[in-house]
Amino acid sequence: MLIGLTGGIGSGKSLAGEFFKSKNIDVIDADDLSRIALAKKGEGYSEFLNIFGEDFLDANSEIDRKALREFIFKNPGMKNRLEEIIHPIVQNGILKFLNNSNSLYAIVIVPLIAETNSSSHYDRVLAIECKKNIQIERASTRDNSSEEQIVKIIQSQSSTEDRNKIANDVVKNNGTKEEFIMNLEEIHKKYLTLINND
Ligand code: ADP
């Protein structure tokens, strides 16, 4: 069984991923794969330079992801070009992960399942729901970003309502970490039951 784990920025996807790993469930994060794809030795690095040039390189010849993100925000037309580079590499990475996975079920963390209409890639979608003000506070603290930047990202993502529409299960993360973990325990139990009844 393959679970797509989704949610807005700062909603708690990574924390949920850590929880599932602690249950010996294989977890992969699509964002990590895209970061690896654009790293200096990554599969997408030279193609990136061919298309975007060297303007985004820092002193170590690494792609400055923050500068790139800001550029894409201002030039949405270039987003497709970037996705054409990254998408096949990420897809391939997920396939490899699945081929090597033998945990009871597997989880792929993908922030943009609703935005990319890709819920059919998964047996089930799990959405993490978090109130906007809490999301802003947690994400800006974690990333050392301004609240305005986080708000911009939230506005570019699906609404909670749209995300919940495509989800089979929704877990709320508005309270303490302990409460969140308790909610995740319930979902883990539910998945095990679903597998056993299959
Ligand atoms: P995402 O992966 O969805 O962007 P994270 O899992 O990284 O979100 O969570 C964002 C930040 O908020 C992290 O620093 C995380 O440790 C923290 N966090 C997540 N859930 C809680 C919670 N219930 N209470 C306090 N901090 C939390």
Q: What is the pLDDT of residues 129-178, one digit of tens each?
A: 999 999 999 999 999 999 999 999 999 899 999 999 999 999 999 999 99
65 and 147 in contact (C-beta within 8 Å)?
no
Q: Is 173 in the pocket of ligand 1 (CB under 6 A)?
A: yes
Q: According to the model, what pLDDT value does residue 66 have? A: 85
User: What residues contact 19, with CB distance under 8 A and at least 6 apart?
Assistant: 181, 184, 188
Q: Which amino acid is at 101?
A: S
User: What residues contact 33, with CB distance under 8 A and at least 6 apart?
Assistant: 89, 90, 93, 94
Choose one of 5, 6, 13, 15 to mutate for the ligand 1 pocket test, by most ligand atoms within 8 angstroms of C-beta: 15
Q: Is 7 in the pocket of ligand 1 (CB under 6 A)?
A: yes
- Residue 198: is its pLDDT beyond 80? no
Which phi and psi angles does 170 have, rounded to 5°?
Answer: -130, 130
How is residue 173 written in tokens? Answer: 């993360």
Q: Is 183 in the pocket of ligand 1 (CB under 6 A)?
A: no
Q: Is 12 in the pocket of ligand 1 (CB under 6 A)?
A: yes
109, with CB counted inside 10 A (0-12, 13-18, 19+), is buried
pTM for this model (two decimals) = 0.93
Nearest CA to ligand 1 atom 5: 12
Q: According to the model, what pLDDT value does residue 73 have? A: 82
Q: Is 9 in the pocket of ligand 1 (CB under 6 A)?
A: yes
Q: According to the model, what pLDDT value does residue 70 have? A: 85
- Among 5-14, 28-37, 67-76, name the one with the lowest average pLDDT: 67-76
Which phi and psi angles does 97 have, rounded to 5°?
Answer: -55, -45
Which residue in 5, 56, 42 sits closest to 27, CA to CA? Answer: 5
